[in-house]
């Protein structure tokens, strides 16, 4: 007996990512699956669901990052104020010329420098982010009556924080690989890790501060500072978390706005007046693969549009903090090398370029984020159908 097609009536359309309380098995149940209408339903709390959701998110993130890798390289060079590319900032033509110069000097590999580190980081990042969002969303929104914009925003922000905390050191490595422009030696991931780990802030000037002191007092101060330096290292693993604080602050509006906008845009696309143009017609076999109580997938253009809008909004609200973060991440090779705070970096940017300095590379950011977010959400939603979640 064939199953009836999905209704597109206003009263029967669920939200884009509805909380499926029917899919959440009781805690005492040892099974990760149940049957509903002849279909297999995978419990959200199960390892099976976690693996499928994480894999879908990781693949989506890798596909999206590969699409925009050349633009990402140029944007990082602009944001981090690389001396060799300062002359190109401030115009679309400058971005094109920058990519042309990179290609002339290093070929296509130059445009993808640091991309291996990107994929190494982005697969777990995307997997954790989407998996965390599914789980946190189910906790924040236990039923459809609890589904509000603020809860969607909170779920997205929390998922973003969890994912970036787990993968931030890989992001620092990626940025440093992309920042390097030397052509005499190609830096490997191992080389960059060694450099970052061994970077030291400038040592204090003992002579200037102790010149007027007696020898015994100066010797005592030098011995004390030497002991403090031994006890409190100035380098090491802490260097891999440069810019972590602004990243956390930036992730709250970025991930929150991204998931909120995507979900809200999906709801809009599924309104009855638009559904016939936006909802993807599904065969009987495809309907059987789709998890129960999930909305039918959007057409390709509609899904890409919702992702693009989500990326545009999230990029706009979080970009100033992203610029601060990039400058902090390359702190060991820009300026005198000491570890800068958020306030110091913000003051430096303001002094150098005014308020416009906080939006350097935003045009490239928009060009990058539209295909990035669109591809990411599109691939993830399609992978969810393939994996039956």
- For 179-234, the pLDDT digits (tens) are 766 655 667 778 888 888 888 765 544 444 444 445 554 444 454 344 334 333 45
Report the alpha-carbon angle 154-63-189, nearest 5.
95
Tens digits of residue pLDDT in 333-348: 455 556 677 888 888 8
> Could you write out the DSSP letters of every residue in 89-104?
TTSHHHHHHHHHHHHH
**From the CB of residue 170, how many other CB atoms can be counted at a distance below 10 Å?**
20
What is residue 290's predicted lDDT score, i.e. its pLDDT? Answer: 60
> Domain limits of the chain?
40-186+243-329+355-387
Tokens 């992001």 sit on residue: 171
- Beta bridge partners of residue 36, listed in sequence order: 39
- Regarding pTM above 0.85, the answer is no
* DSSP labels, 238-307: GGGGTTHHHHHHHHHHHHHHHHHHHHHHHHHHTSHHHHHHHBPP--HHHHHHSPTTPPPPBPHHHHHHHH
Spatial contact of 85 and 146, defined as CB atoms under 8 Å apart: no
- pLDDT for 357: 87
What is residue 377's predicted lDDT score, i.e. its pLDDT?
96
Closest to 152 (Cα-Cα) out of 140, 162, 164: 140
Residue 90: what pLDDT?
Answer: 66
Q: Which residues of the chain have pLDDT under 50?
A: 1-3, 5-30, 204-213, 217-221, 223-233, 333
Q: Report the topology of domain 40-186+243-329+355-387.
A: Mitochondrial carrier fold (1.50.40)
**Which residues fall within 8 angstroms of residue 282, CB to CB, at 6 or more apart?**
5, 6, 290, 296, 297
Whether the CB-CB separation of 166 and 64 falls below 8 Å is answered with: no
Ramachandran angles phi, psi of 113, nearest 5°:
-65, 130
What is residue 42's three-state secondary structure?
Answer: strand
């Amino acid at each position: 007996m064939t199953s009836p097609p999905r209704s597109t009536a206003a009263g029967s359309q669920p939200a884009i990512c509805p909380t499926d309380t029917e899919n959440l098995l009781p805690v005492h149940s040892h099974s990760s699956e149940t049957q509903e209408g002849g279909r297999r339903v995978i419990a959200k709390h199960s390892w099976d669901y976690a693996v499928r959701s994480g894999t879908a998110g990781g693949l989506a993130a890798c596909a999206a990052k590969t699409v925009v890798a050349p633009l990402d390289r140029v944007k990082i060079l602009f944001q981090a104020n690389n001396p060799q590319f300062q002359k190109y900032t401030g115009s679309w033509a400058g971005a094109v010329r920058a990519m042309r110069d990179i290609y002339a000097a290093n070929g296509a590999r130059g445009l993808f420098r640091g991309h291996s580190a990107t994929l190494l980081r982005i697969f777990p990042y995307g997997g954790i982010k989407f998996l965390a969002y599914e789980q946190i969303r189910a906790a924040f929104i236990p039923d459809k009556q609890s589904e509000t914009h603020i809860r969607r925003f909170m779920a997205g922000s929390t998922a973003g924080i969890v994912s970036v905390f787990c993968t931030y050191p890989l992001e620092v490595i990626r940025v440093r690989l992309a920042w390097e422009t030397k052509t005499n030696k190609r830096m490997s991931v191992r080389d960059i890790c060694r450099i970052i780990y061994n970077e030291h802030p400038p040592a204090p000037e003992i002579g200037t501060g102790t010149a007027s002191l007696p020898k015994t007092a100066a010797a005592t101060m030098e011995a004390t500072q030497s002991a403090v330096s031994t006890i409190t290292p100035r380098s090491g693993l802490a260097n891999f978390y440069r810019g972590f604080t602004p990243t956390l602050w930036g992730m709250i509006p970025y991930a929150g706005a991204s998931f909120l906008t995507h979900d809200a845009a999906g709801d809009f696309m599924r309104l009855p007046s638009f559904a016939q143009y936006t909802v993807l017609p599904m065969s009987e076999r495809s309907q059987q693969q789709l998890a129960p109580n999930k909305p039918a997938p959007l057409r390709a253009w509609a899904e890409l549009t919702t992702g693009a809008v989500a990326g545009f909004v999230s990029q706009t609200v979080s970009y100033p903090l992203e610029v601060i973060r990039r400058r902090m991440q390359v702190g060991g090779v820009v300026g005198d090398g000491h570890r800068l705070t958020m306030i110091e970096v913000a003051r430096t940017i303001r002094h150098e370029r005014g308020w416009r300095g906080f939006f350097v590379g935003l045009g490239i950011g928009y060009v990058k984020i539209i295909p990035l977010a669109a591809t990411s959400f599109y691939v993830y939603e399609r992978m969810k159908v393939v994996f039956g979640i």
